[in-house]
Amino acid sequence: MKVLNTPLPGVIIIEPRLFGDKRGFFLESYSATRYREAGLDVEFVQDNHSRSSHHVLRGLHFQLRHPQGKLVRVSRGSVFDVVADVRTGSPTFGQWFGVELNDDNARQLYIPPGYAHGFQVLSDVADFEYKCTDYYHPEDEGGVAWNDPGLGIEWPCPEQAIVSDKDQRWGPLQALTDEQLPPYLL
């Protein structure tokens, strides 16, 4: 597998080895030993799978007292995946990074705890799978508006975004206090 750094500290793209022929393909989506050797030495405690239709935009989400690291991938379809640094005190606070994840490139993205995360579906349907380093606590969830002009995320189809009522209620990053954001931990 190949590991690529991004402009955000700790956020990495993983390109697993894909073995394919006329029958299809095989890839190893996770191996604790191999990932640890590549520098991703974390313990995952929960796996999630969501299915979304074209233009659905989920996010930007984070957990405050129980921040989750996430290893995300798309097993069917295509998404534009976004990570935003919302960790108070971070040198890259307010910066974001986006990458296309799809079932052709088989890329994975690791998002360390404390970052906000979201994605927009580019295909008719997308199956989005992710491993988490902590359990989901609904009472602990926070968020930032997906269309926050201060972040300036360049979504591929913002005018066609289908966003949940909950995600529509998130405000801009600059309106959140330090107590409402995850801390930057060295």
* Active site (catalytic) residues: 61, 130
Q: Report the DSSP beta bridge partners of residue 78.
A: 102
- Alpha carbons 6 and 13: distance in angstroms, whole number: 7
- Alpha carbons 17 and 39: distance in angstroms, whole number: 17
What is the chain's Cα-based Rg? 16
The alpha carbon dihedral of 161, 165, 169, 170 has a sign of: negative
Cβ atoms within 10 Å of 85's Cβ, excluding its own: 26
What is the residue type of 132? C
List the one residue out of 162, 151, 154 whose CA is nearest residue 84. Answer: 151
